[in-house]
A and B are shown apart, each in its own frame.
Chain A
Amino acid sequence: MLDVARAAAIEGLVQAGVDFVSGLPDGWQRDLHEAIEHDERFTYVPVCNEGVGFSVCAGAWMGGRRPVLIMENSGLRVAAEYIARISLGTGVPVLLLLSYRGDIGETEHWGIPHGIVVEPLLDALRVPYQIVRDPSELRQGIKRAQRLAQAQLHPAAVLVSGSCIWDD
């Protein structure tokens, strides 16, 4: 993630009132995880898989925190089990911030399946999402996704790609 995008993401999370972060670091958002870990405005709980991360976020929300799950879009497949059980089943909002591997511009072959699956899977889970390919849209995108998640008591997602990742 480019520095400008990372800064915008953090500003967006703070302005959205997010104070609890779980997730699994990936190649694109590694720096973001590191910045959040050292930022006192957030409680950071790294996990070994995104399903556990989603459950931890859901529990934190029930305790009054405002969580975000930061992960690669591949992690959505892992988290889907608990997005379905907890959010579709009981109505719990968790903001999702995903790297959009396999999007236009992808360089790595292994990212292709992640791109194929992510949007149909978000639709299957009834998670509204915004794809942000310009860092100037990232702060607002995160704030607005959080507003929607809180209003609908269901997750909403921001996917980052394009000029948030590449300066080409």
Chain B
Amino acid sequence: MGIDRYEGLSRLAARLPDDALVMATYIGAVSFEWAHLTGEHPRSAHLGQMGDVIGMAVGLAIALPHRTVVCIDGDGSVLMELGQLVVMGQEAPPNLCVFVVDNESYESIGWGPGGVRRPTATAGRADLAAMAAACGVPYTATVHTVEQLDTELELAFSAPLCRFLDVKTQPGNAKVPPRQTDGFEDKYRFVRHVERTEGRAILHRAEQDRQLM
């Protein structure tokens, strides 16, 4: 039946290394929950949408091989673009760990009377961890219990290895406030954090203005 998602995310947040970077989805309550748990720390990029979170995380991990890169995505988003698993297995950056919060439903679009959610394919026969393994991702697992999650978290941050963890979660959201920033603000906050912690310039510099100084 899966674990409570907020509980699972809180355990990830507690274990996350301070210098890690997180490529997270901004879709749905999982984004609100993660932001609430992390105090909206700028190390988390809430920039992923549907079908691009893992792809961006792979690019980020390759760009910064000395940084731990964590990806938080939903099952619907992963299913939208399975080609991301191909590049993840192909490149297998050892500093990348992907956590899929898999509630087997399209929950961010709401639910009907009685709380019935529209299911994703992972509610049926689709097995994301098996897909990732078939794409060559070195370490994959489907997580069903909190105890198993704790074990995987211990492993994930103790030895560099490209990992894909499909964490089965229960439907439902924690009662936390929605996020108030848009994608542009989220982009600036994250990239400025990377600039500060890497000591490098990423955003544009005005050439003409510099000549005035």
User: Which of B47, B56, B91, B203 touches A153 (beta carbons < 8 Å)?
Assistant: B203
Known interface pairs A52-B87, A64-B194, A90-B186; A59-B202 also in contact (CB < 8 Å): no
Shortest beta-carbon distance from B37 to chain A in Å: 22
User: Which of B55, B62, B194 touches A52 (beta carbons < 8 Å)?
Assistant: B55
Q: Mark B58-86, 1 if CB is under 8 A from A, else 0.
A: 11111110000000000000000101101
Q: Judging by beta carbons under 8 Å apart, are B47 and A64 in contact? A: no
A41 at the interface (CB under 8 A from B): no
**Distance in angstroms between the alpha carbons of A111 and B159 in the assembled complex:** 48
Q: Judging by beta carbons under 8 Å apart, are B62 and A43 in contact? A: yes
In this complex, what residue of A is CB-closest to B193?
Answer: A62
B33 at the interface (CB under 8 A from A): no
Shortest beta-carbon distance from A96 to chain B in Å: 15
Q: Which residues of B contact A (CB under 8 A)?
A: 23, 45, 47, 49-52, 54-64, 81, 83-84, 86-87, 90-91, 183-184, 186-187, 190-191, 194-195, 198, 200, 202-204
Q: Judging by beta carbons under 8 Å apart, are B81 and A51 in contact? A: yes
**Distance in angstroms between the alpha carbons of A20 and B83 in the assembled complex:** 19
User: Which of B52, B86, B186 touches A82 (beta carbons < 8 Å)?
Assistant: B52
Q: Mark A74-92, 1 if CB is under 8 A from B, else 0.
A: 0000000110011001111
Residues of B within 8 A of A116 (CB): none
In this complex, what residue of B is CB-closest to A55?
Answer: B55
Q: Judging by beta carbons under 8 Å apart, are A59 and B87 in contact? A: no
**Distance in angstroms between the alpha carbons of A62 and B63 in the assembled complex:** 8
Shortest beta-carbon distance from A134 to chain B in Å: 27
Q: Judging by beta carbons under 8 Å apart, are A55 and B56 in contact? A: yes
Known interface pairs A90-B183, A92-B187; A63-B60 also in contact (CB < 8 Å): yes
In this complex, what residue of B is CB-closest to A51?
Answer: B81
Q: Judging by beta carbons under 8 Å apart, are B204 and A65 in contact? A: no
Q: Judging by beta carbons under 8 Å apart, are A81 and B62 in contact? A: no
User: Which of A45, A56, A91 touches B187 (beta carbons < 8 Å)?
Assistant: A91
Q: Judging by beta carbons under 8 Å apart, are A56 and B55 in contact? A: yes
User: Which of A54, A59, A81 touches B60 (beta carbons < 8 Å)?
Assistant: A59
Q: Judging by beta carbons under 8 Å apart, are B86 and A48 in contact? A: yes
In this complex, what residue of A is CB-closest to B206?
Answer: A151
Q: Judging by beta carbons under 8 Å apart, are A49 and B59 in contact? A: no
Q: Judging by beta carbons under 8 Å apart, are A52 and B63 in contact? A: no
User: Which of B50, B54, B90, B191 touches A62 (beta carbons < 8 Å)?
Assistant: B191
**Distance in angstroms between the alpha carbons of A62 and B57 in the assembled complex:** 10
A42 at the interface (CB under 8 A from B): no
Residues of B within 8 A of A67 (CB): 59
**Distance in angstroms between the alpha carbons of A54 and B47 in the assembled complex:** 14
A61 at the interface (CB under 8 A from B): yes
In this complex, what residue of A is CB-closest to B84?
Answer: A52
In this complex, what residue of B is CB-closest to A67?
Answer: B59
Residues of B within 8 A of A151 (CB): 204
**Distance in angstroms between the alpha carbons of A54 and B56 in the assembled complex:** 8
**Distance in angstroms between the alpha carbons of A89 and B209 in the assembled complex:** 27
Q: Judging by beta carbons under 8 Å apart, are B52 and A55 in contact? A: yes
**Distance in angstroms between the alpha carbons of A54 and B61 in the assembled complex:** 15
Shortest beta-carbon distance from A153 to chain B in Å: 7
Known interface pairs A64-B200, A150-B204; A59-B58 also in contact (CB < 8 Å): yes
Residues of B within 8 A of A46 (CB): 90
**Distance in angstroms between the alpha carbons of A67 and B45 in the assembled complex:** 19
